[in-house]
Structure 1
Amino acid sequence: MRLSIVDEQRKAPSMTQKIVIVGGGYIGAELAQSLDDKADVTLIEPRSHFVHAPAMIRAVVDPALLDRALIPYDALLERGRVLRARAASVDGSGVTLEDGQHVPASQIVIATGSGNATPFKPAGDDIEAFRAENARVHAQLRAATSVAIVGGGAVGTELAGEIAHAMPDKRITLISGQPRLIPDKPARLGTALARKLEQAGVELILGQRANDLESMTAPHAGLLRLSDGSTRNFDLIFPALGARAQSDLLQDLPGVRIGAAGRVKVDPWLRPSTYPNVFAAGDVADPGDAMTIVATSRQLPWLKKTLLGLGEGTPLEQLKRYKPWGERAPILVPLGPQRGNSYLGLFTAGDLVTRMIKGKDLFIGKYRLLFKQT
């Protein structure tokens, strides 16, 4: 059956709707691709490669993983463009780059993500420098006999499990000021993970802070002073104290409010400022979701539907408000490729489910497919 002119127009990309997305992480890259055939899309990203963060934890013990988990942007979009550049400022008319170029936009999505300690995320834009840092830390780990991990969230817990699995000869100590692992999730998850780490030979020191860290952002050797006054010396100390939003680009926008960990507050339509066409999503925004990749699974389809609705002329206030995950957001915590536990909203799953969903491949295959890499 032949399509009508109206049907053809609905299928064709709207070249009058110019969508600019700043940040090519989990929100930015997938959103750009999902809109590629429906609008004029520009993705602004300073790095040459997408950094698949969950794999970076395992890459500490297996640097060869970087060859698959650092994924180039060059095949992501077919119609739109990826600008390898850094945004300097944003206003209602578009985005201005550091070189002075102005990229006009109908709608702008800021998805600049978060930073974390190296080698879990790059400190800068140079991917080769990140590879070198990973190699340096891996060499330090191989040479170390005693290893401390400071922080009992998902990154610290996963790292302890990865090292215990790949290097069982290491003396590993996981230190957290919280009384249990993954403290923002039900206690049964942290209890199950703690039991498996202890079975793997990991010493847990919970409810005590590690003071006087030489660095909060990079692995180092040295003495740790615990909050009970005792001291411990380690060949290698990994700070894993949580991520901080990269919200500098948003700080000067009118009406912006910065909250915990540098995240910006947003209204029910993910707008961080008084500009009606500027949105924020992912780790940089605080709509009620945690700073996890899982949050993108709800934000992405909402953003896509909302932006397309705006392109069709529907007023934003007539479009559905964003509803965050809240406390039931799932989390998957592998302890190496074989073991782990997951909280899936209504129940906690064990080794088999965690291995099959995440632990086996860490979603690397999914993201290589998204970026059209074989």
Structure 2
Amino acid sequence: MTQHIAIVGGGYIGAELAKSLDAKAEVTLIEPRSHFVHAPAMIRGVVDPALLDRALIPYDSLLKHGRVVQARAMSVNGSGVTLEDGRHIAATQVVVATGSGNAAPFKPKGDDIAAFRAENARIHALLKAAKSVAIVGAGAVGTELAGEIAHAMPGKRITLISDQPRLFPDKPAALGAGLAKKLQRASVQLILGQRAQNLESLSEPYAGSLRLADGSEHEFDLIFPVLGSRANSDLLQALPGAQTSSAGRIKVDPWLRPASFPNVFAAGDVADAGDAMTIVATSRQLPWLRRTLLGLGKGKSLEEMKPYAPWGEKSPLLVPLGPRRGSSFLGIMTVGDLLTRKMKGEDLFVKKYRTLLGQP
């Protein structure tokens, strides 16, 4: 009997999983956008919009045997996926990997890639004209953005603001301390342990003033709110037995199942499996999903296969500050400029994902 696998979401989990299963099963990837949005490059794309020509990658060459259906899923259940237009994609297994959203221009608000390009161009023009820039939120996106602007536009006054007492407090202190020193050397001012209390927008940059928890007021030509990602979990929240955790993620069992359906799985940012919301987490989930789904196709029961083991606290984190500088935590040690540049900073994995999607 042919194994039919439906994958909802063509991001880092969905696209690579579909590619890896393409010759082994009948695969349908359901994705509303025409292009893969390579998120790390969107941060650098704020200062270099030309990068979008390589980092927005069409899906049309991803699969040789399976199919990519450009549509939005309305619901999932044990029989497959129902689309907004009423079509039903029958499947023996369903993987929901709908990812997460973030503020503009780091991820699109909708499905229109042309509109996303226009928004990127608009915000780049605002940044180019600004003399003073505030970034509120010092997670990976906010910290990388500060480094990218400092590298590409060194004349600007950049302030990185966080309510945490240090950068990346959930990682070894050496990571945050090293990044802080490099940012300060690049003339980025750090304001740590201070919450911004009057943000006018949580979804897009704007000009205005910020009032911090200590009562101080600060004026900026451009303020980027970068307060973390939130899972796109509406599809899973409707499932029987689904439970929502922090950032809108859905709790999963040891076999990445989010609900009572035995053949529906969740992965990536949308799944609270014990991994951080990073691309690196997919490097552990992808081989497990591939192995498990192929095992099911051979007639094995899920319970006789090994459950998923998350990264946990040892999850790696790569934080470039432009193409030359940065620091990274590799699970057992913290490394600096050279390895961060070679692993991520120079190319931001653009070549890898263009190759994955069959593009030159």
Q: Shorter-chain-normalised TM-score: which range?
A: over 0.9
SS at 2:200 equivalent: coil
Q: Write the deviation string for residues 211-253 of structure 1: whole angstroms up to 9, x where unpaired.
A: 1101001011101000001110100000110000000001111
Partner of 1:106: 92
Following superposition, the deviation at residue 184 of structure 1 comes to 1.9
Amino acid aligned to 2:285: Q
Following superposition, the deviation at residue 187 of structure 1 comes to 1.2
1:139 to 119, 125, 129: 125
Question: Is the CA contact 1:153–1:183 (under 8 Å) kept in the aligned structure 2?
Answer: no
Partner of 1:10: none
Q: Write the deviation string for residues 194-221 of structure 1: whole angstroms up to 9, x where unpaired.
A: 0000000000000000111010010111
1:273 to 259, 263, 267: 259
SS at 1:31 equivalent: helix
Partner of 2:174: 188
Partner of 1:166: 152
2:31 to 9, 34, 45: 45
Mapped to 1, the partners of 2:326 and 2:300 lie a distance apart of 45
Q: Write the deviation string for residues 91-116 of structure 1: whole angstroms up to 9, x where unpaired.
A: 10010000000100000000000000
Aligned counterparts, 1:130-279, within 5 A:
130-279=116-265
Partner of 2:13: 27
SS at 2:27 equivalent: strand
Question: Is the CA contact 1:61–1:138 (under 8 Å) kept in the aligned structure 2?
Answer: yes
Amino acid aligned to 2:222: L
1:59 to 35, 40, 45: 45
User: How well do the aligned residues superpose, as a CA RMSD in angstroms?
Assistant: 0.6
Identical-pair percentage: 75
1:348 to 334, 343, 350: 334
SS at 1:169 equivalent: coil
Amino acid aligned to 2:49: P
Mapped to 2, the partners of 1:258 and 1:358 lie a distance apart of 32
Question: Is the CA contact 1:152–1:180 (under 8 Å) kept in the aligned structure 2?
Answer: no
Q: Write the deviation string for residues 70-128 of structure 1: whole angstroms up to 9, x where unpaired.
A: 00000000000000000000110010000000100000000000000010000000000
Amino acid aligned to 2:185: Q
Mapped to 2, the partners of 1:183 and 1:117 lie a distance apart of 22
Mapped to 2, the partners of 1:119 and 1:309 lie a distance apart of 40
Q: Tell me, which stretches of 5 or more residues in structure 2 are unaligned?
A: none
Partner of 1:80: 66
Mapped to 2, the partners of 1:251 and 1:156 lie a distance apart of 29
Following superposition, the deviation at residue 183 of structure 1 comes to 2.1
Partner of 1:3: none
Q: Write the deviation string for residues 119-172 of structure 1: whole angstroms up to 9, x where unpaired.
A: 000000000000000000000000000000000111000000000000000000
SS at 1:321 equivalent: coil
SS at 1:16 equivalent: coil
Following superposition, the deviation at residue 260 of structure 1 comes to 0.3
SS at 1:50 equivalent: strand
Mapped to 1, the partners of 2:286 and 2:124 lie a distance apart of 34
Structure number with greater Rg is: 1
Amino acid aligned to 1:52: H
Partner of 2:287: 301
Question: Is the CA contact 1:295–1:329 (under 8 Å) kept in the aligned structure 2?
Answer: yes
Q: Write the deviation string for residues 20-51 of structure 1: whole angstroms up to 9, x where unpaired.
A: 00000000000000000000000000000000
TM-score under structure 1 normalisation? 0.96
Question: Is the CA contact 1:219–1:237 (under 8 Å) kept in the aligned structure 2?
Answer: yes
Q: Tell me, which stretches of 5 or more residues in structure 1 are unaligned?
A: 1-14
SS at 1:78 equivalent: coil
Partner of 2:276: 290
Following superposition, the deviation at residue 293 of structure 1 comes to 0.3
